[in-house]
Amino acid sequence: MDRPLTGIRVIALEQYMAGPYCSMLLADAGAEVIKIERPGIGDPRRSIPPFVENNGIKKAGGFMAYNRNKKSIALNIRNDEGKKIYQDLVKNADVVVENLRPGSVDKLGLGYHDLKTLNPKLIYAAISGFGRLEGYEGPDSKRPAFDIVAEAMSGIMHLVGFEDKPPSWTIYGMADVYTGLCTSFAITQALFMRERTGKGQFVDSAMLDNMISLNERMAMLYSITGKEPHRGRLTHLYPRGAFKCKDGYLAMNIPDDLVWGRFCKAIGRESLIEDDRSKTGTARASNAEFLAPIIEEWLSQKTRSKAENILNENGVPVGSVYTAKDVFESEQVKSRKALVDIDDPDVGTYQFARGPVMLSDSPEIETNPAPGLGQHTMNILSEVLQYSDKKIDKLTESGTIGINSKI
């Protein structure tokens, strides 16, 4: 059985995380993803720790995690021969995913407006910090950006952490991963539109835009009330956060008075339901210092699992705050196959996160390991572009292409 994107060819001119995560999701969905990398160097992610090593071969964990199910061609697109090869690949492709610095491919004559003349059906997805679609450029459009920049400028960092501490970042690479997910979603929309119109289009994915869309509650609150939400405190509800048990922490959120009533009954404190200090969300938020010791005392006598079971059975959704070890040992995670085994022939088998959605009539994703640098150069040039062995030898000698490195 085919997967959803079987038969779609993607050229991935990508590096670091956002582009690679996007194209990995497309590859998981069945697309043939051809990753373009610099000969001898490759994606910078290949040189960023942590590393795994076996028999003198060393590979970067981050690269392994974001590049499964892809093919790698080592290609120098800065010389004329390399540009011609890239153009030939685009002529035979459905999608380009590109997240280089804004303007860099245009200077090479390889931007969307150059390529769409070669392939009018091409869907060109450009990932950047601040957006590149004509008519929507802002003063920051040409700036480079990493994930933490988008977190900061979207207002998310302002909301993370404690009230008396500096703003904090969330998790490493969240803006990259979320942008990759948003971009893959946009690409599938563009592919669907192409079925109707026969035309390709430019997909503009800005990390800042994506993070603002994720921070939609801040936008709603400020637009409606004119008030800025602040980190570390909520004025309309309590409890919300991580609370300590015997063996770790339990995360809970009491969003309304109905769930508060259930919670009070579960912990044997029904008097708090009508107590003026706790009968409404606003009152609970104002009297957190009164309520916190009561909640902490009840939880301190129970393990995470025990408290979780009691509260969930009483209609109060809660969950243990898992460590990485907990996630890997979770029966729920195992049942969902949220972690997939990737067997790398050089360094062994490791588990990485699967994509976030499942389809009932689509087979499980393939689990091919991340490619070696230029591992598929010969195959792509000979089979996709029909280049002769003699031509490929000349391209190798000139340094235009690289073949089958172990990095």
Residues marked as catalytic: 176
Both ends of the chain: CA-CA distance in Å? 33
Q: Find all residues with CB under 8 Å of 56, minimum gap 6, and list them.
A: none
Kindly state the tokens that stand for 347. 């360094």
Provide the 8-state DSSP code for 400. Answer: S
Task: Find tokens 């008097």 and name the residue.
Answer: 271
Kindly state the tokens that stand for 249. 């922490």
Provide the 8-state DSSP code for 366. Answer: P
Amino acid 87 reads Q
Task: Find tokens 């035979």 and name the residue.
Answer: 92
Tell me the chain's radius of gyration from C-alpha atoms: 25
Check the CA dihedral 16-19-22-24 and report its sign. negative
Q: Residue 363, class by beta-carbon neighbours within 10 Å (0-12 exposed, 13-18 middle, 19+ buried)?
A: exposed
Task: Find tokens 């508060």 and name the residue.
Answer: 260
Q: Where are the beta strands (DSSP E) in 31-170?
A: 32-37, 51-54, 57-60, 70-75, 95-98, 123-128
